[in-house]
Amino acid sequence: MAAKSKVVIYTTPTCPYCNMAKHYFKDNKVEYEEKNVAADRALAEEMIHKSGQMGVPVMDIDGKIIVGFDQAEIKKALNLK
Amino acid sequence: MYELVIIGGGPGGITAAIYAARKKMNFALIAKDLGGRTGLVPEIQNYPGFQTISGLELTDRFKHQLDELKVVPKFEEVLKVEKAKDGFVVKTDKNSYEAMTVLVASGARHGKLNVPGEEKLNNKGVTYCATCDAPLFADKDVAIVGSGGPGLNAALMLMRIAKKIYLVERGPELRGDKMLCEKIVCEPKVTILTNTRVKEILGEKFVSGIVVTKDGTPEEIPVQGIFIEISYTPNSEFVAHLVKLNKRYEIIIDDNCKTSVDGLYAVGDVTNVPQKQIVVAAGDGAKVIWAIFDYLHRQK
């Protein structure tokens, strides 16, 4: 079920694609945990380690790492119709 | 059949939609997202009514205005516009729409340097979105390529974050807004490199440096990030077979934003209008609706 997925999104406050991704989660009633990598360098390192890259947003959906607001990939990872 | 299909959700397309809605036209707004590149500008200081506003906030305000007018954008990607008997067919990744007129306001996308290392290190120190990724370069040395508005805005943002900034411009002087230039030249952490071209981006897993040539002499500069803010490529591919483009692939328009094809109009960064500005796109977005309204009236 989509609502039960563990979703973490790594963001920066000024990033429009991060905002779009969060709106997408809200519209689809997906709960998520937001990690602001601009405010905490340890979180930035965690994101870079997980994704092997430095662009935001990064989403960790049940262990699947998605880089960028890739709606098709997010939909697939969440089993959304 | 729609009277008008607007393609693009940046300031040009949104303004056109606002004017079309107020004229109670039968139209559709098709966009990949709302805001377009406006959403990527960290600080906008030349849009009347706002001393300073972020691109993100201005985009939110655009959205609210559309909501109030009950304009519901179709979030689809336009693949092709074809001429039809009574107008046009707009084909998207999901649907096909018939329209008497079409307004192309599809903007432009970031340009690439096309140098070795750029693809391999994309998102690994190479970035095209300073607004998104700048905070990840705290206390790092970075290069910004391009000194037009986007490059200068990236420099202003990175001045608060990065340790050292190289601003690389291939021309003899900085190109953007003089007020922004003055702020940047006074900043001790910024080194301005004019007459300089990036030849290669170095690094294995992540960016470790760039090779530049200044006045023809090669030099290696160690940096951990490179922000590419150079000229943009207009999103005109889906009408390239229909309308006249200039050599930069921009759609050529007249004073009324009309293209070389009757019933087909264009505004904003996708056109040959040289001022790639939010306020110019918005202004043309308003102006064009009058032209389209008159055109439709003449057809009846």
In this predicted model, what pLDDT tens digit does every residue of B70-127 receive, in sequence order? Answer: 999 999 999 999 999 889 999 999 999 999 999 999 999 988 999 999 999 999 999 9
CATH of A2-78, one of 3.40.50.970, 3.40.50.300, 3.40.30.10, 3.60.90.10: 3.40.30.10
The span from the CA of A44 to the CA of B164, in Å, is 20
> What was the pLDDT predicted at B45?
87
Residues linked to residue B30 through DSSP beta bridges, in sequence order: B7, B74
The span from the CA of B19 to the CA of B69, in Å, is 10
Interchain pair A14, B127: CB under 8 A: no
For residues B145 and B222, membership in a common domain is answered with yes
For residues B224 and B261, membership in a common domain is answered with no
Judge whether B115 lies within some domain.
no
> What was the pLDDT predicted at A1?
46
Residue bearing the bigger pLDDT, B163 or B40: B163
> What was the pLDDT predicted at B37?
87
Interchain pair B132, A38: CB under 8 A: no
Question: B24-69 pLDDT, tens per residue?
Answer: 999 999 999 888 889 888 888 899 999 999 888 999 999 999 999 9
Count of structural domains within chain B: 2
Judge whether B116 lies within some domain.
no
Burial bucket for residue A50 (CB in 10 Å: 0-12, 13-18, 19+): middle
**Number of CB atoms found within 10 A of residue B53's CB:** 17
- CA of B85, closest CA in chain A: separation in Å? 35
> Is ipTM over 0.85?
no
**Domain end position, chosen among B209, B228, B247:** B228
Judge whether B216 lies within some domain.
yes
Cα dihedral value B122, B125, B127, B131, nearest 10 = 150
**Domain end position, chosen among B177, B208, B228:** B228
Handedness of CA A24, A26, A28, A31 (dihedral sign): positive
On chain A, the residues whose CB falls within 8 A of the CB of B136 are 12, 37-38, 44, 48, 54, 56
Question: B190-217 pLDDT, tens per residue?
Answer: 999 999 999 999 999 999 999 999 988 9
The span from the CA of B156 to the CA of B45, in Å, is 13
Q: How far is CA B126 from the centre of its chain?
A: 19
Domain that holds residue B171: 126-228
**What's the average model confidence in pLDDT over B129-143?**
93
> What was the pLDDT predicted at A2?
45
Q: Which residue in this structure is represented by tokens 């990065």?
A: B162
The span from the CA of B101 to the CA of B4, in Å, is 5
On chain B, the residues whose CB falls within 8 A of the CB of A16 are 35, 39-40, 55-56, 59, 131-132
Residue B253, CA distances (Å) to B6, B7, B35, B36, B229 in order? 16, 16, 22, 21, 26
**Number of CB atoms found within 10 A of residue B207's CB:** 26
Question: Considering CB atoms only, which of B33, B35, B132 is closest to A56?
Answer: B132
**What's the average model confidence in pLDDT over B210-231?**
94
β-sheet with B141-145: strand ranges across: B126-127, B225-228, B141-145, B164-168, B190-193
For residues B210 and B136, membership in a common domain is answered with yes
For residues B104 and B243, membership in a common domain is answered with yes
On chain B, the residues whose CB falls within 8 A of the CB of A55 are 123, 127, 129, 132-133
